[in-house]
Structure 1
Amino acid sequence: MIIIPGPIPIAIHPFFWLFAALVGWLYGQSVTGMLIWMGIIFFSVLIHEFGHALTAVFFRQKAKIQLVAFGGLTSYDGGPVLKFWQQFIIVLNGPLFGFGLCLFSFLLLKTPLPPMGIAIFKASFIANFFWSAVNLLPVLPLDGGQLLRIALEGFFGVKGFRAILLIGALLAGLIACASFVFGYFIAGAFFFLFGFQSFDSWRKARLATGDDRGPENNALMLQAEKALQEGR
């Protein structure tokens, strides 16, 4: 594992590179293409996570970034208890940074570039637009699911938490079925997993009370999500 120290420490797990290489090979179809896509994936995921991390630091949290098997994970603690609107902004700024990188790539494509530059920034534009848009779907653990969870839980408490689990499970199931029908098997597998996890969590959360969603249990939930993304 690669550790980059600093005000916002960054840990890069080996499986991140393996996943990036797999995706890079699927889209690049050559060693050079794979390396280009690996660079785009690394930079795009890092910018996305910095959107979360820098906002958390702004709210006086201690943030750290991990690049894990299927993307990135930003965790933060050590500061004052965050209000729901602060949590919402922290989550929202990840996709917003991604759309910002998408816009930057688009603007560069309007300038004179060599063929390699056109290929790189076109891929960056497509990757960041697609991932940022998909990431806003209201399915946990995607950012869109987290945003809806924060909003519903802020207004309705534990009932809102149960609602987003059920909404996410149903939507993920529909997306998984559509993905399989149209031949997008990797996307279908991911959304099937998301849907199963949300449904299982909803089933277990039916008897949850307000105390079960307190700060201590929220911290445990974040630890569990981190372990899941790391494949442990």
Structure 2
Amino acid sequence: MSKVRGMSTERIAKHILEKAGYNIIEQNKIFTIDGVEIAEVDFIVEDEHGERYIVEVKSGDIDVGALRNLYANAKTLNMKPLIIGRRFSNQAAKKLAETLGVKVHLLNEFFLLLDATELEIILRGAIIDVLNEYGVRPFIVSSLTDNELNFLEALAESENIDDLLNKLKIEKKKFSKIVSKLKKKGVLPKYSVRYEQLKKHVQAVLFWTTLSTRLKRIEEKLDLLTKALTEKNLEQSSVSDKKVSN
């Protein structure tokens, strides 16, 4: 499996897990004992009952080897095993998963159960993750006021909407009004996204806004420096011309 293909499958898997009601605790977690690596798992998730699972994501078929490795890691780490893959490689793999009690989410079956809207939400979420991961600003940012910047900074540092409202001391109605205005300016996405994705988007916006401001200041200083050097050269040239004429 290529690295790019694996990363793409993980992004889709993340949104599948969230759609299924799991809370993502950690991603690409490495476990060590006395400095020795004993296991690396794609995700650690928690269900609605507080039960934790280690998750193995396969971009291809689920085989016996992957199930054995996942089960061993789950036992070692005292968690339950969960695997996501396209399909079982054979009946032996399916039987082993049932015998070991491994929870399975098959990509082929999952996507067949989705309606168009649900599929669009998952794909949009994965695309936003890619854009944020590679530092690509997905929306053109208009000029922001100080109040809007303060709002975005608070949003980027808040755990959820309630935390944000508490920090800014505003009501939900005011929050909705600000968000609507920022959507019209192209700063925030016009479609609905999870708060975690909104935070990442805002963090990217703030990064590009800060970078743009700094570059503008550097450009202004360079213009002033260029102007000063030009004036100095003209003065020196004028003095030299006078000396020659004398």
| Greater relative contact order structure (CA < 8 Å, 6+ sep) | 1
The structure that has the greater radius of gyration is 2
More strand by share: 2
Bigger proportion of residues as helix = 1
Taking structure 2 as the reference length, what is the TM-score of the superposition? 0.25
TM-score (norm 1): 0.26
